[in-house]
Amino acid sequence: MLACRLTTQTIKQRCQLRERFQEFTGEFPWRWRPADVDDFLAGLRSGEKPISLKTLRSCSNAVAMFCAFLTHPG
């Protein structure tokens, strides 16, 4: 992520989000399903302190980028 010129703060936030998502699912990344992402994001969007749509998209993108990294053939 440093090679993509991301700040250490952004990297830290993305790693924390990935850890929260993994705790939410109770599964390893290769067992994650699209429904897991939907349920996780729905939980972030509801509750006592719902996140904004902008933050929701950022969270969704962070999970998607991590999955793309894991499945990249090179």
What's the pLDDT score for residue 25?
Answer: 97
Owning domain of residue 63: 7-71
Please report the pLDDT score of residue 20 as a whole number.
96
- pLDDT tens for 4-53 read 788 999 999 999 999 999 999 999 999 999 999 999 999 999 988 999 99
pLDDT score recorded for residue 2: 74
Asked, for residue 45, whether it belongs to a domain, the answer is: yes
57 found inside a domain = yes
Residue 65 maps to a domain:
yes
Look up residue 41 and give its amino acid. Answer: L
Q: Is the pLDDT of residue 72 over 90?
A: no
Please enumerate in sequence order all residues whose Cβ is within 8 A of that of 65, keeping only pairs 6 or more positions apart, or say none: 14
Q: Which pLDDT score, from 0 to 100, does residue 4 have?
A: 76
DSSP 4: G
Read off the DSSP letter of residue 33.
Answer: -
Domain-located, residue 1:
no
